[in-house]
Every structure is written in C-alpha cells, then in structure tokens.
C-alpha cells in the first residue's frame, strides 16, 4: 500500500483570519510528513487556501462538487472550476450531505464521475447509522453505497479514495474501535478488489472522532490507509499529531 493519507474536513468552519492562522501553524510544524496530507476548507475559501498552500506539502481539497458538468445549476460549483484553483481532492457523499441535502447513491456516483473527469480525486464517503449497525446492516449499507460509485465509474475506480465514516462516530467522540473499523475496511477492500486489478492503489480512510490520542492505533490496522478528520483538524497541534502518527 502507498503512503497513508490524512485529510482535514473543516466542514462549515473558519474565516479568512482563522484559516490563515491555522494554515500557518500547520506549515510551521509539518516538516516533511511521512504521509500525504490535504485540507478541505469551505468552498468559498479555495482561492485563499490555494495561495496559502502553494509549494507546501499540504494539498487542497473541497467538501463537495456538482454532479453536473456546467450550465443552469444555480449555486453549484463544477469540478472543472475547482480544478482551476488547484483542487486535488473532493469529498463526495459525506453523511452530512446525504442527511441534510438529500444526496443519494446516484448523486454521489455522478459527483465522483465529474471529479474523476476533471482530474480531481473523489473521496467517497460511506457509513452506516447507529440504527443500521444495531440491526446488523452495516456491511449491506456500505457495500451498497460503494457499489453505486463502482457501477458508474468502471475501471476509473482505482483512482478514488474511499472513506469509511460510521455516522454514529462523527462528531460524537464515540470512535469505532480499531477492530470495528478494520472489519468494515476489509469488507470494502474485498469489494474494491473484485472491481479492479489495481485495488492496491485505492486508499481507504477511517473517519469519525479520530483524534491525536486514538489515531496511531486506528492507523496501524492493516486496511486503514489514512484518516478523514473533522473536529481535530481544526486544531493545529492535534492535526499535526495525527499526521505524525501516519507512517506508511
């Protein structure tokens, strides 16, 4: 497996001044990381972040991308537009968007397709709710979510990143145990292997209350190739500790 990937999802947080301070703190402490690193600010700040991150070891990502190419889609931002600003990754299908913006598997698959066509790596989020876990549906749900993306994107699937984010672990402080996460990652790995000969290129990140204290153990699991971090990515010291924990 290639280098691990640590991605900060800032969600709807920050402003010009706090973004500037956070990035400067990160760049001051990051040195030569042993993993790949990206941050995903709110879309309005991509130009600011492009300039702050230029020439640094931190790549730029976004939290969403339009499922349409261009045209009369008020409020949308296309993958090509994001590419103009040096965006390297686009989170698609985050559970908060599935929940609050009624995104479904088809939308997510289309968003992944648009990103791939523009040369942006989609970070495809999958994950079950607590109710789904308690009723034994975890495997069924994550496989269904990923299979929509595989189905629409064919051999390009080797160019995606997958993020397993159990909904019940997001922002709750209730992290999946390393064993719980690893067992779902293994299911996803097998699904990707069945879809492409290049499955080894696909990194599967864990997300959901990952923090400076629990990152090393999660990241030591055989099928956990990195992290998608919310709250802890807004604190430079914590995010830097997670980056330091992510050795190949």
Q: Is 230 in the site for ligand 13P (CB under 6 A)?
A: yes
Structure tokens at 202: 């696909």
The answer to whether 220 and 181 have CB atoms below 8 angstroms apart is no
Binding mask 70-99 for ligand 13P (x = CB under 6 A): ------------------------x-----
Note whether 210 binds ligand 13P by CB under 6 A.
yes
Q: How far apart are CA 129 and CA 112, in angstroms?
A: 22
Per-residue tokens: 113: 């397709």
Of 13 and 147, the one with the shorter C-beta distance to ligand 13P is 13
The torsion of the CA quartet 22, 28, 33, 35, rounded to 10 degrees, works out to 0
Q: Which of residues 8-67 bind ligand 13P (CB under 6 A)?
A: 9
Please give the residues from 130 up to 159 whose contact with ligand 13P meets the rule CB under 6 A. Answer: none
Residue from 138, 145, 182, 209 in contact with ligand 13P (CB under 6 A): 209
The one catalytic residue among 103, 128, 132, 165: 165
Q: Does 208 bind ligand 13P (CB under 6 A)?
A: yes
Give the nearest distance from C-beta 247 to ligand 13P in angstroms.
20
Stretch that binds ligand 13P, among 26-34, 47-55, 106-114, 206-214 (CB under 6 A): 206-214
| Residue 242 CA: distances (Å) to CA of 7, 79, 124, 189, 247 | 10, 29, 21, 23, 10
Whether residue 139 contacts residue 187, with contact meaning beta carbons closer than 8 Å, is answered with: yes
Cβ atoms of 84 and 95 closer than 8 Å: no
165 is catalytic: yes
Which spans of this chain sit near ligand 13P (rule: CB under 6 A)? Answer: 9, 94, 165, 170-171, 207-210, 228-232
């Amino acid at each position: 497996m290639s280098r691990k990937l640590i991605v900060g999802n800032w969600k709807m947080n920050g402003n010009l001044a706090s973004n500037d301070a956070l990035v400067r703190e990160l760049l001051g402490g990051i040195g030569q990381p042993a993993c790949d690193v990206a941050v995903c600010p709110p879309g309005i700040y991509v130009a600011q972040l492009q300039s702050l991150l230029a020439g640094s070891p931190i790549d730029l990502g976004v939290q969403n991308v339009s499922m349409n190419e261009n045209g009369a889609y008020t409020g949308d931002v296309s993958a090509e537009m994001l590419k103009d600003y040096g965006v390297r990754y686009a989170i698609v299908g985050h559970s908060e968007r599935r929940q609050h913006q009624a995104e479904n598997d088809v939308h997510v698959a289309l968003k992944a397709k648009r990103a791939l066509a523009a040369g942006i790596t989609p970070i495809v989020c999958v994950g079950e709710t607590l109710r789904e876990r308690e009723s034994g549906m975890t495997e069924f749900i994550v496989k269904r979510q990923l299979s929509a993306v595989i189905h629409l994107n064919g051999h390009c699937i080797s160019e995606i990143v997958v993020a397993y984010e159990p909904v019940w672990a997001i922002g709750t402080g209730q992290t999946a145990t390393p064993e719980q996460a690893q067992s779902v990652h293994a299911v996803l790995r097998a699904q990707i292997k069945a879809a492409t000969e290049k499955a080894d290129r696909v990194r599967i990140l864990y997300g959901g209350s990952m923090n400076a204290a629990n990152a090393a153990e999660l990241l030591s699991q055989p099928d956990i190739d990195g992290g998608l971090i919310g709250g802890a990515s807004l604190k430079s010291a914590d995010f830097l500790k997670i980056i330091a924990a992510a050795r190949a």
